[in-house]
DNA sequence: TACCTTTGTCTAACAATGTTAGATAATATA
DNA sequence: TATATTATCTAACATTGTTAGACAAAGGTA
């Protein structure tokens, strides 16, 4: 009898709806006003129900972060199938990261917030799965490549964070003549050149 | 009669003590458990007193951020007096930034947290006060230099954030063979080389 | 069918938080 | 000394996360 499976499915759905509700509220009013009560209201349940699915609020947020990294990674993988030239691929991956950030600003914020230490080391590890790619590009040994990847991630995230924090467009003192995205591309471009053989 | 001035001074002191109390609690238990009540207790007053000095909690935190940027900037200025070679100076400024971050981790966290948009544009502008320095180093025009400075800041902050988020030492998959600080120096070094004439 | 168990859901409360109004004490001014 | 001002506190408020316990629906068992 399939009752049991359908029930399972419904439960999964509810869980997703909770996560989506949280993201929706965050998008509309910021993370500060994401409350269990509001989430409950959004999914048309009472607050205690949320605790059937998540140990507590922090647990809920962690799950959102985890989902975020999963999504981002799967977009990376997709591109990897398509573009075979390492240098061009790296540029495309960088742009995917950029796009993801600004299409999901709130999500990106908790994913990379300093107030939230890394719980999902697996996600972090996935970033380094592109080791071979960089090795091909630079001709360096494994250890050095690790550092270069790390550098790449820092550069990408640092730049995106800076733009996001300034709530584009940036104030006048910081006026950069190009579009933010072009500035970003310029940085990545210089970086890739500085590491290429 | 100097009563009035002394009072002023006492008020200033109390204000500072509030800010310090907040930082102390943050250092010990994280920002999540910085509450008005705990701050009040720390300075041996009742909660409403805090509101004599700050409009609300957010205002209080903003002031902490502002102070942080002031401190960092003054450390920059100090070094600028001492080191006259542009390239070496930029490396030293980068290291001051690094030192500041890890000697004041909590402070750094709210200063550069994504959840807290820039309120203090003045602080941001100060970063760009080193324009001439970069112009000397690169020989580029003003607009291009702006972008390079921006790049520099992104690189610094991106790297520090990444290390801080990983709660050093980093997990095994991210094992970099060098000390974090040396990795940082390596990045800056490559960057400075990539922009030098 | 009648009974019991499990499961889903809710109501109502708890303690902790930010914040404010109004009382009270301390100090300064006349 | 009497009055005005200032500093501080008490007590409350609404909003949060979270939990215990009530209640009812559904499922299984005899």
Record: contact B124-A173, CB cut-off 8 A: yes
Record: contact A176-B108, CB cut-off 8 A: no
Run of H or E residues at B63: helix B57-82
Mean pLDDT of chain B: 89
Q: How many CB pairs under 8 A join A and B?
A: 145
Kindly report, residue by residue over B85-101, the tens digit of the pLDDT: 989 999 999 999 999 99
pTM: 0.91
Which of A73, A154, A157 is most worth mutating to test chain B (most B CB atoms within 10 A of its CB)?
Answer: A154
Smallest CA–CA distance from A58 into chain B, residue = B32
pLDDT average, residue stretch A145-155: 92
Minimal CA–CA distance to B181: which of B193, B197, B194, B170?
A: B170
Of all nucleotides, the one whose C1′ comes closest to residue A54's CA is D18
pLDDT value at residue B175: 65
Measured between beta carbons, which residues in chain A are less than 8 angstroms from residue B61? none
The answer to which of A95-109, B64-78, B170-184 has the lowest mean pLDDT is B170-184
Q: Is the CB of B36 under 7 A from strand C?
A: yes
pLDDT value at residue A123: 78
Mean pLDDT of chain A: 89
pLDDT value at residue B74: 95
At residue A1, does pLDDT exceed 60? Answer: no
Q: What is the distance in angstroms between the Cα of B42 and the nearest Cα belonging to chain A?
A: 23
Please list the alpha-helical segments (H only) found in chain A. Answer: 3-29, 36-42, 50-53, 57-82, 86-103, 105-111, 121-127, 131-138, 142-165, 180-195
């Amino acid at each position: 009898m399939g009752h049991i499976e359908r029930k399972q499915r419904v439960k999964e759905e509810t869980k997703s709806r909770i996560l989506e509700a949280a993201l929706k509220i965050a998008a509309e009013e910021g993370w500060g006003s994401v409350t269990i009560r509001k989430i409950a209201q959004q999914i048309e349940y009472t607050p205690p129900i949320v605790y059937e699915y998540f140990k507590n609020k922090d647990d809920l947020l962690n799950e959102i972060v985890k989902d975020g990294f999963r999504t981002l990674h799967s977009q990376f993988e997709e591109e990897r199938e398509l573009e075979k030239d390492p240098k061009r691929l790296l540029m495309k991956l960088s742009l995917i990261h950029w796009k993801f950030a600004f299409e999901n600003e709130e999500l990106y914020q908790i994913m990379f917030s300093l107030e939230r230490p890394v719980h999902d080391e697996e996600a972090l590890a996935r970033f380094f799965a592109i080791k071979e790619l960089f090795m091909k590009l630079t001709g360096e040994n494994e250890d050095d490549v690790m550092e270069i990847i790390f550098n790449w991630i820092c550069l990408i995230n640092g730049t995106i964070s800076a733009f996001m924090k300034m709530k584009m467009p940036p104030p006048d003192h910081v006026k950069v003549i190009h579009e933010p995205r072009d500035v970003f591309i310029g940085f990545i471009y210089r970086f890739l050149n500085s590491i290429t053989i």
